């Protein structure tokens, strides 16, 4: 298994974030993804990190479909692939209506169709074609004017692998069909079939298998010295999980809650989501059981984390995305270094 992490340019001081990435590469990390969400954009810091790193792959985790035209996504990817000298991975995601409609003012409807058409156009643009495309969501060139099909002038010497960040069964099927890799989240290895089966079905529809995809899954990693400390650490993580179940969406639509429900936590997901939407945040946090935190993270004693990594490996995960815990930069790097060693041992 390969190792990865995710950073974003907003939040911690940028100089500290850069130090983290540079040191992570020295520790042997294979991939660094840069998040976007509703904070800093992803492409800008990726260009900077391309100049500060030498070996690790750099990926957008993720560029949000709908916030840029497919042609601009392709131009950005080609530019970053040139700057990174072949080390760039294009991660795309549909995000959600709160961000896409609330922040960007772009309709969120039909994310599956938008994603499919975006990937098709991005690949054509990156291939150097003059692009003419007549889709439901993308039409090139715009009809009714003087425009003609165009090709971009930027080229890259290396292909750009495309990863899709997806959760729902239909989007997972699309990922298996058209992507080079899957950026997963909200993962429980014991419930992996709920994700891997639609991924495999999509791959089969395209004449491929799951072995043709990099399955990249992530979770927080932290090490407890004993069971007493572990209990406290699991309790601290309850709030983050409650936010995913209740705050990352609306009362009627939360892709993270749905993903956890499909993997065996339907009752907990429904209860926590309802409490959160009612404004009972403390009750929502209290309703998250320690067992769910343990099942959905890499938090444990060293033997416990080793065992969970084996479960991820056996489920078919090929790249482990690590979110290292720690009170400061040094502590986070210590956690990351220990985790990388365990992944190498288990993988």
The candidate with the shortest Cα–Cα distance to 27, out of 318, 333, 344, is 333
pLDDT at 224 (0 to 100): 97
Integer Cα distance of 69 and 40 in angstroms:
18
Q: Which of 342, 337, 345, 321 is nearest to 25 (CA)?
A: 337
Q: What is the pLDDT of residues 50-91, one digit of tens each?
A: 999 999 999 999 999 999 999 999 999 999 999 999 999 999
CA pair distance 192, 204, nearest whole angstrom: 18
| Cα-based angle 283, 265, 95 (whole degrees, multiple of 5) | 85
From residue 170, give the alpha-carbon distance in Å to each of 161, 222, 244, 328: 21, 33, 21, 40
Give the other-Cβ count within 10 Å of 313's Cβ: 16
Cα dist. 306→32, 146, 199, 335 in Å? Answer: 22, 61, 26, 13
Q: Is the dihedral of CA 164, 126, 75, 81 positive or negative?
A: positive
Dump pLDDT digits (tens) for 97-128: 888 888 899 998 999 999 999 999 999 999 99
DSSP 198-248: HHHHHHHHTT--GGGSEEEEEEEEEE-SSHHHHHHHHHHHHHHHHHHHHTS
Q: How many angstroms from the chain centroid is the CA of residue 246? A: 19
Measured on CA atoms in the order 22, 24, 30, 32, is the torsion positive or negative? Answer: negative
Q: Phi and psi for 165 in degrees, rounded to 5?
A: -95, 105
Give the residue from 182, 139, 132, 137 showing the smallest Cα distance to 161: 182
Q: Can you read off the two tokens belonging to residue 175?
A: 């990922």
Closest CA to 303 of 223, 190, 187, 189: 223
List, in order, residues 6 or more apart from 68 with CB less than 8 Å away. 76
Q: Are strands 319-324 and 214-223 parallel, antiparallel or unpaired?
A: parallel
Tokens of 229: 């400390």
d(Cα 209, Cα 175) in Å, to the nearest integer?
A: 12
| Phi, psi dihedrals of residue 255, rounded to the nearest 5° | -65, -30
**Spans of the chain, pLDDT less than 70:** none
| Token representation of residue 328 | 């400061």
End-to-end distance of the chain based on CA atoms, in angstroms?
5
Q: How far is CA 73 from CA 91, 111, 128, in A?
A: 10, 16, 14
pLDDT value of position 347: 85
Q: Are 302 and 243 in contact (CB under 8 A)?
A: no
**Angstrom distance (rounded) from CA 178 to CA 167:** 15
Q: How many residues does the chain have?
A: 347
Report yes or no on whether pTM surpasses 0.75.
Answer: yes
Torsion of Cα atoms, 200 then 202 then 208 then 212, to 10°: -60
């Amino acid at each position: 298994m390969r190792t990865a992490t995710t950073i974003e340019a907003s939040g911690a001081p940028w100089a500290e974030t850069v130090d983290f990435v540079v040191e992570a590469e020295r520790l042997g990390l294979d991939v660094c993804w840069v998040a976007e969400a509703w904070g800093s954009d992803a492409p800008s810091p990726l260009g900077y990190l391309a100049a500060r790193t030498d070996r690790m792959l750099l990926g957008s985790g993720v560029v949000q479909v709908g916030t840029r035209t497919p042609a601009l996504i392709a131009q950005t990817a080609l530019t970053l692939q040139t700057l990174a000298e072949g080390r760039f991975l294009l991660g795309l995601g549909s995000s959600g209506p709160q961000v896409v409609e609330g922040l960007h003012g772009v309709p969120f409807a039909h994310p599956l169709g938008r994603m499919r058409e975006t990937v098709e156009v991005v690949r054509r643009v990156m291939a150097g074609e003059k692009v003419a495309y007549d889709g439901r969501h993308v039409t090139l060139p715009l009809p009714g004017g003087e425009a003609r099909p165009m090709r971009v002038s930027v080229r890259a010497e290396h292909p750009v692998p495309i990863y899709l960040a997806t959760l729902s069964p239909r989007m997972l099927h699309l990922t298996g069909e058209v992507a080079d890799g899957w950026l997963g989240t909200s993962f429980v290895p014991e419930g992996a079939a709920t994700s891997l089966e639609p991924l495999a079905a999509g791959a089969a529809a395209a004449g491929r298998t799951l072995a043709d995809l990099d399955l990249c899954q992530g979770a927080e990693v932290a090490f407890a010295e004993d069971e007493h400390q572990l209990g406290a650490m699991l309790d601290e993580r309850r709030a983050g999980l409650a936010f995913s179940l209740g705050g990352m969406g609306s009362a009627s639509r939360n892709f993270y809650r749905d993903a956890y429900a499909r993997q065996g936590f339907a009752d907990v997901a429904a209860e926590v989501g309802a409490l959160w939407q009612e404004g009972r945040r403390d009750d929502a946090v209290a309703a998250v059981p320690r067992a769910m935190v343990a099942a959905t993270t890499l938090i444990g004693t060293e033997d416990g984390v080793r065992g969970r990594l084996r479960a991820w490996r056996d489920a078919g995960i090929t790249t482990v995305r690590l979110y290292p815990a720690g009170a400061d930069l040094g502590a986070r790097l210590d956690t990351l270094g220990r985790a990388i060693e365990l992944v190498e041992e288990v993988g």
